Amino acid sequence: MKTLSSSLCSARSIAGTPPSASSRRSAARVLSLVAVLLTGGLAFAQPAAPSAPEPAAAAPAADAVGADGAAPAADAAATPAEGATAVAPAPAPAPPAGKAWYDLEAAKPHNTEGTYWLPKPVNRVASDSDMMFYSVLAMSFFFFFAITIAVIYFVVRYRHRPGRKPEPSAAHNDALEITWTVIPTIICVFLFWFGWRAYVHVATPPLKAVEVQVLAYRWGWNFTHSNGVQDADLHVPVNTPVRLVMTAKDVLHSFFVPVLRTKQDLVPRRYTYMWFEATKPGTYRLYCTEYCGRDHSQMKVKFVVHTPGGYERYLADKAALSSNMPPLELGKMLYEKKGCNACHSLDGSPRVGPSFKGTFGGDVPLSDGSSIKMDENYIRTSILNPLSQSRPGFPPSMPSFEGQLKDKEIEGLIEFIKSLK
């Protein structure tokens, strides 16, 4: 700090200082500026170096399992990681009986392969997007360094020294200025054209595609497949076009899977669409990227691309499971998959909504001052028309699940809440 401050010496006391001292000072001044500019440039350049260490890409392999453990869907079900993704740090415990193979698949540490700049793409239509990204990156480096070098050169070459006067030069030069107007214009036309061409592919789904209905709510996802199977994680087949028909329940959300290189907002009471064709089986991140309130940053689930045949097996096994499940287990599963757990705890602690623990059978106070017995009918009404009997001390923010739960599923949830003594 001391050297920096002394080297950043003032430029104001030029006139009258002896030439030798002042030339030393001005040299120090120039050096300090070069240092300022170069370090800025290096800070920009460093990320581009292909051999640069990739702390963030390497580090999470060890952390990922631990982080997943915190996610409600993954509990303790860390499994040995496979393939190139990561090495699991500890031997995994035997999967609990209730965990299906596809949930274990979703609980795997996610794939973090990629370059310094971008995660490895797994969308067939994304190669154009990445090509554009790297081209513009190269062009940006070229212009940035050209401008930086010009600035540094001029500042060093034409720095003030005692007795120096600015040299006469033209105040404008039409040919030069027209040149540097036309060149950016041409570049911009090309960038627009190729960006638009690539976007057309990303935005136009093929006629034949597997369709998945997507519902986003605060703060979770519900993916409904063609045979009625619902899940909080998105499971898709590999090498098959998948089209998403999406809407939101409450506020705006946005569907973002970085490895797919695409993104689409979900708007309440309106459908929006996107499509992709995943090329590599694996487990990836799926985020919400439109700010939606308190647990916006927790609204992340898994995007699972199955190996050939895996998706069909997933649909069949999952459908069989929910039709044969005992009500209690069905309710427990729905508690997690429908996102009840975002607002209602099982341990007695209040979150956005009251905890489920030990409430069944007692009297609960209502916002209008009365109280009501917590029985099967209370729970059913609370699921289908929650605002009709909201509780004091909690915001009236629970959405209705009317039309989204079958009677059997509501009964399952009731059994589950009953079981929480």
Partner 1 sequence: MATQQDASGKEPNFYEVKRGISSWLYTLDHKRIGLMYLFGIFAALLLGGAFALMVRIELFEPGKTIVGQDAYNQLFTLHGAVMVFLVIVPGIPAALGNMVMPIQLGAPDVAFPKLNMASFYLWCSGALLMLLSIARGAIDTGWTFYTPYSLGSATSVLPALMGVFLLGFSSIFTGLNFLVTVHKFRPQGMGWFQLPLNVWALYATAIVQVLATPVLGITVLLLFVENFMHIGIFDPQLGGDPVLFQHFFWFYSHPAVYIMIIPAMGVISELISTFSRKPVFGYRFIAYSSISLALLSFLVWGHHLFVSGQSRLATMVFSALTFTVGIPSAIKVFNWVATLYKGDIRLQTPMLYALSFVLLFTIGGLTGLFLGILAVDVHLHDTYFVVAHFHYVMMGSTLVAFLGGMHYWWPKIIGRMYPERLGQLCAAGVFFGFNLTFLPQFVMGARGMPRRYWDYDPEFKIFHQLSTVGAVVLGVSIFVQGIYFLWAAKNGARANDNPWGSSTLEWQAPTPPTLYNFTTPPELRELYNYDHFEERGELDWVYADPKNSDDAAEEPASSGH
d(CA 273, CA 263): 10
Place of tokens 């554009």: 132
Three-class secondary structure of residue 365 per DSSP: strand
Name which of 287 and 378 has its Cβ closer to partner 1. Answer: 287
- Measured at the CA of 218, the angle between CA 217 and CA 220, to 5 degrees, comes to 65
Q: Single out the segment in contact with partner 1 by CB under 8 A; choices: 186-194, 208-216, 323-331, 355-363.
A: 186-194
191 binds partner 1 (CB under 8 A): yes
Binding residues for partner 1 restricted to 66-95, rule: CB under 8 A: 67
- Measured at the CA of 358, the angle between CA 356 and CA 362, to 5 degrees, comes to 105
Shortest spacing between CB 250 and partner 1, in angstroms = 7
Single-letter code of the amino acid located at 131: M
Name which of 60 and 95 has its Cβ closer to partner 1. Answer: 60
Binding residues for partner 1 restricted to 276-335, rule: CB under 8 A: 285, 287-298, 300
Burial of residue 259 (number of CB atoms within 10 Å: 0-12, 13-18, 19+): buried
d(CA 290, CA 292): 6
Binding residues for partner 1 restricted to 27-66, rule: CB under 8 A: 29-30, 32-33, 36-37, 39-40, 43-44, 47, 55-57, 59-60, 63-64
The pair of structure tokens assigned to 325 is 């499940």
The correct pick among 76, 138, 189, 316 for binding partner 1 (CB under 8 A) is: 189
Cβ atoms within 10 Å of 353's Cβ, excluding its own: 19
207 binds partner 1 (CB under 8 A): no
Binding residues for partner 1 restricted to 229-258, rule: CB under 8 A: 250-252, 254, 256, 258
Measured on CA atoms in the order 16, 21, 23, 28, is the torsion positive or negative? negative
Binding residues for partner 1 restricted to 260-279, rule: CB under 8 A: 261-265, 267-270, 272
Shortest spacing between CB 206 and partner 1, in angstroms = 16
**How far apart are the two ends of the chain, measured CA to CA in Å?**
63
Task: Kindly report whether the peptide bond that precedes residue 219 is cis, defined as omega within 30 degrees of 0.
Answer: yes
Shortest spacing between CB 247 and partner 1, in angstroms = 10
d(CA 327, CA 332): 9
Contact yes or no for 283/300 (Cβ under 8 A)? no
The correct pick among 19, 87, 117, 388 for binding partner 1 (CB under 8 A) is: 117
Name which of 115 and 226 has its Cβ closer to partner 1. Answer: 115
404 binds partner 1 (CB under 8 A): no
Binding residues for partner 1 restricted to 156-175, rule: CB under 8 A: 158-160, 164-173
The secondary element (H helix, E strand) that includes residue 255 is strand 253-257
Shortest spacing between CB 339 and partner 1, in angstroms = 16
Shortest spacing between CB 73 and partner 1, in angstroms = 15
Binding residues for partner 1 restricted to 362-401, rule: CB under 8 A: 395, 397
205 binds partner 1 (CB under 8 A): no
The correct pick among 9, 104, 372, 374 for binding partner 1 (CB under 8 A) is: 9
Q: Which of 337, 258, 297 is nearest to 74 (CA)?
A: 337
Name which of 78 and 334 has its Cβ closer to partner 1. Answer: 78
Shortest spacing between CB 358 and partner 1, in angstroms = 26
Place of tokens 């993704």: 85
Single-letter code of the amino acid located at 194: F
